[in-house]
Chain A
Amino acid sequence: MKREIPLIITGVVGIVFIVQFFIPHEPFSSLSDIFSDWFSIIEACAIWLGALNLIKLSLDKLGKPMLLVTSAIVVVALIVGIVGAPDEFLAGRFPLILFAVAFLLMALGQYSRSKMKPDWFFALTTIASFVIMLIAGLAFSGGRTFQEPGTHYDYLYRSVYTPLSSTMFAMLAFFVASASYRAFRARNREAAMLLVAAFFVMAGRVPLAEFLGTLTPDAFSGAWATTGGFLSGAADWVMNFPNAAGQRAIMIGIALGIVSTSLRIILGIERSHIGGE
């Protein structure tokens, strides 16, 4: 039954979602809303599974002495947070108390197995960041929603999280350059066509010709403006025609692949994702 029940649930829910697309009458229209709500609830609750797993593995990497010290500091911080949390029980205190209990149990459980690993510093940073954001958001928002401008959480969001995320994203600029340098070689006809298209799109999506026009005498500005218009037009043409056509073709293939895979899952032919063969 351990395998059969998930298969039955998958089949029923899958068929309901297909049917509700074609039959607007109740109960089909509200069934899909209900199933979607259930998924959101399960997903939200499941976040704790992952978060506690992450804390557990991080504690595992600290080694016994550091685990003791870290746990003591975290518990003290959580107590301060619980005391400072707003009066609304569910808003601040209760989740902090729940987390404190879970953390203590995990620390006790991991103590005997904990061995210091080479990446202990990253594990420590993970635990510290987690606890600081938790306490800042739940305990010290001054009765406001934690995301409102002016709260400590918002300050950490703007000063720490935003620059870190933006930095990771900015790394793409460097990686695009190194990947392009390595991979964009005109090895064959198709690669050469790709190169030419890439040149027009890259040159046309920025005012490159207009910039070069500022470096040359004014007599050439008209020619540069025309070149800029041509490059921009060429880039637009590539984006609107070959790119749109290629994207549509790939999307059609993907849609068919999704239909086929979904049918296999709904009919129970595909079972590896639930541990079947």
Chain B
Amino acid sequence: MTPPAPPANILADDAPNDAGGAIIVRWDKSPDEGAGLDNVGAYQLLRGRSPNGPFDTVGTMTAGMTEFNDGDVEDGIDYYYVVEVIALPSPDHPNVEPPVSISRPSQPARSSAQWIHMGRLNSLLAVVILASSILYFISKAKGGEKLFIRKIAGLEAVDEAVGRATEMGRKIFFIPGIQDMNNVQTIAGVTILGRVAKMAATYDAKLDVPVPRSLVMVAARETVKQAYLDAGRPDAYDEDMVHYLTDDQFGYAAGVDGMFVRQKPATIFYMGAFFAESLILAETGNSIGAIQIAGTAMPAQLPFFVAACDYTLIGEELFAASAYLSREPKQLGSLKGQDVGKFFILLFAIGGILLATFGVYNISHWFLVR
């Protein structure tokens, strides 16, 4: 058997936009790829520090591949690459090593780290515009300007919901989602918990916060304790109000459902990230006659909450809740800044639709984030 023709044009370049230590190697396919007995079985990439070798194997690729990212190099050193082409094993002699051919070495390539990720300049611009508008409106609000925020029905009902629990002498349950403190929705939920806890302390309502993560338990306890202190009711605070159940999704849902059915709370808040357990919790809460206010930024769970709860905060309304309930000017200012960001996105979306309608596609790559 003759070996397949070796690939040509071995090009090795520093991998762009990285912390160094990587070289991208590209080559043209072997002319014999897809052709009869000389067909290509695999490519093997070899690396050395001199064009004459010695070379070490870096990676093996199936036929059809023409690029490899060698992430195992040192910065500042010249490397040379060759590509070996291994033929398919002969069907008549399956135990015989298939023949191999080897390309000419590439030009030397050297890896280095870059200070700026050029593929993300568009993101940087977007972040700067958005952050600037948020900071601008925060400073305007600090200066005393009144900012209009539309009514959010779910948040207007929080007062009524807490009052209901007080009148009925039954508990308020607060479920801060099933994710950990590294999820922004959980932080938003715990923030709202602080506001609800303050109201509960003021009205002397009983609060129960079963949580699915230990770190959430710790953070929520701090929040609730501070809320009771701010309401002037440190005596009413009990650290076991906030208690851990289990990390397991359905174990948590089963445990919380059991508490709902046995304790029959008057009011239930769901504020945070939820998954499939959302409807299990919400339907059980509905069956015991509790008033339920939900808020989540998980689009898949929103329909379940809308169907089963009395009020639902959709997506960004969850993040707006803390600002809305506190009415702090700095927080309200950030909501206005967010709206400016949305306005720009809307402009770009309409512009993109018009361009696509008229078949202009060659500027869409400006919006790609690499």
Chains A and B share a contact (CB less than 8 Å): yes
Chain A residues with CB below 8 A from B213, complex form? 46, 50
Residues A276 and B226 in contact in the complex (CB < 8 Å), given A257-B297, A263-B134: yes
Chain B residues with CB below 8 A from A254, complex form? 297, 299, 315-316, 319
Residues A260 and B217 in contact in the complex (CB < 8 Å), given A269-B330, A273-B187: no
A166: nearest residue on chain B (CB-CB)? B250
Contact present for B19 and A258 (CB under 8 Å): no
A29 to B115, CA, bound (A): 11
Q: Is A226 an interface residue (CB 8 A)?
A: no
Contact present for B116 and A22 (CB under 8 Å): yes
Contact present for B19 and A47 (CB under 8 Å): no
In the complex, which range does the number of interface residues on chain B fall in? Answer: 35 or more
Contact present for A47 and B214 (CB under 8 Å): yes
A253 to B295, CA, bound (A): 14
Residues A262 and B184 in contact in the complex (CB < 8 Å), given A49-B218, A256-B338: yes
Contact present for A24 and B17 (CB under 8 Å): yes
B191: nearest residue on chain A (CB-CB)? A272
B297: nearest residue on chain A (CB-CB)? A254
Contact present for B299 and A250 (CB under 8 Å): yes
Instruction: Identify which of A25, A50, A262 gathers the most chain B CB atoms within 10 Å of its CB.
Output: A50
A125 to B187, CA, bound (A): 32
A270 to B321, CA, bound (A): 12
Contact present for B334 and A184 (CB under 8 Å): no
Looking at the complex, which one of B120, B223, B304, B318 makes contact with A272 (CB distance below 8 Å)?
B223
Contact present for B219 and A273 (CB under 8 Å): yes
Q: Is A178 an interface residue (CB 8 A)?
A: yes
A272 to B229, CA, bound (A): 13
Contact present for A47 and B247 (CB under 8 Å): yes
Q: Is B28 an interface residue (CB 8 A)?
A: no
Looking at the complex, which one of B194, B218, B280, B316 makes contact with A256 (CB distance below 8 Å)?
B316
A26 to B249, CA, bound (A): 38
Q: Is A182 an interface residue (CB 8 A)?
A: yes
Looking at the complex, which one of B230, B247, B307 makes contact with A277 (CB distance below 8 Å)?
B230
Chain B residues with CB below 8 A from A274, complex form? 219, 222-223
Contact present for B115 and A23 (CB under 8 Å): yes
CB distance from A50 to the nearest CB of B (A): 3
Q: Is A214 an interface residue (CB 8 A)?
A: no
A29 to B114, CA, bound (A): 11
CB contacts under 8 Å to B, within A97-119, are: 118-119
Q: Is A171 an interface residue (CB 8 A)?
A: yes
Chain B residues with CB below 8 A from A276, complex form? 226
Interface flags, A238-265, vs B, CB<8A=1, else 0: 0000000001001111101111111111
Summarize A's interface: helix, strand, loop or mixed. helix
Looking at the complex, which one of A22, A253, A272 makes contact with B342 (CB distance below 8 Å)?
A253
Interface flags, B297-332, vs A, CB<8A=1, else 0: 101001010111000001110111011000000110
A165 to B335, CA, bound (A): 40
Q: Is B276 an interface residue (CB 8 A)?
A: yes
Contact present for B279 and A275 (CB under 8 Å): no
Chain A residues with CB below 8 A from B334, complex form? 260, 263-264, 269
Q: Is A88 an interface residue (CB 8 A)?
A: no
CB distance from A114 to the nearest CB of B (A): 13
B17: nearest residue on chain A (CB-CB)? A24
Stretch at the interface among A51-59, A74-82, A216-224: A51-59
Residues A250 and B114 in contact in the complex (CB < 8 Å), given A171-B280, A183-B308: no
Chain A residues with CB below 8 A from B282, complex form? 179
Chain A residues with CB below 8 A from B331, complex form? 264, 269-270
Chain B residues with CB below 8 A from A175, complex form? 279-280, 283, 308
Which 9 pairs, one residue from A and one from B, show the smallest C-beta to C-beta distance? A50-B214, A257-B316, A257-B319, A50-B244, A168-B250, A272-B194, A275-B222, A275-B226, A183-B307
Which residues in B have some Cβ–Cβ distance to A below 8 Å?
A: 17-20, 113-117, 120, 123-124, 127, 130-131, 134-135, 138, 180-182, 184, 187-188, 190-191, 193-195, 211, 213-215, 217-219, 222-223, 225-226, 230, 240, 243-251, 253-254, 258, 262, 276-277, 279-280, 282-283, 286, 297, 299, 302, 304, 306-308, 314-316, 318-320, 322-323, 330-331, 334-335, 337-338, 341-342, 345
* 6 sampled A-B residue pairs with Cβ under 8 A: A175-B279, A256-B342, A257-B320, A269-B138, A269-B330, A273-B187
Kindly list 8 other residue pairs between chains A and B, CB separation below 8 angstroms, not including A179-B279, A253-B316.
A21-B123, A54-B243, A164-B254, A179-B282, A256-B338, A265-B187, A269-B331, A273-B194
